[in-house]
Amino acid sequence: MEGVALVIVGLLLLVSPSTTTLVLVRILGWFWLIGGILSIVSIFIDNTQWGWKLAIGVLGLLAGLVVIQHPLWSAIMIPTLIVICLAVQALIVGAIELIQGFSGGGVGPFC
């Protein structure tokens, strides 16, 4: 079933990328909003780690509301934020691997 959905989304992105992107961003906003609500509700069912659940729930609610209220702005900002997160991750992982490499750790013929 997921394959069919992905083929449809892929075709829609090829045919009408701007409209499809706006629809996908709006779906993402609803996903975050509902996920935030469910995370907060789950505190009342199982109160272990309630602080994390509350933080994730509030963050999901806020992100969902912002994306739903500003779909055009979000269609630009979400991909930008994803690229920034990937860049930060790459910098951190690269720095850690360089430190490990210079300290004698790692895989290679000179270890």
Answer yes or no: is pLDDT of 76 > 70: yes
> Looking at the domain assignment, is residue 52 inside a domain?
yes
- Our CA dihedral for 46, 52, 55, 57, rounded to 10 degrees, sits at -40
Q: Are 32 and 60 in contact (CB under 8 A)?
A: yes
Structural domain that includes position 13: 2-102
Residue-level pLDDT at 78:
80
> Looking at the domain assignment, is residue 107 inside a domain?
no
Answer yes or no: is pLDDT of 5 > 80: yes
Q: Are 60 and 33 in contact (CB under 8 A)?
A: yes
> Looking at the domain assignment, is residue 111 inside a domain?
no
Of residues 101 and 63, more confidently modeled: 63
> Looking at the domain assignment, is residue 71 inside a domain?
yes
> Looking at the domain assignment, is residue 77 inside a domain?
yes
Per the structure, how many domains does the chain have? 1
Answer yes or no: is pLDDT of 79 > 70: yes
Give pLDDT tens digits for 34-52.
999 999 999 999 888 899 9
> Looking at the domain assignment, is residue 26 inside a domain?
yes
Sign of the alpha-carbon torsion through 32, 33, 35, 40:
positive
Question: What interhelical angle do 50-69 and 17-45 show, nearest 10?
Answer: 150
Residue-level pLDDT at 66:
92
Q: Is the pTM of this model over 0.75?
A: no
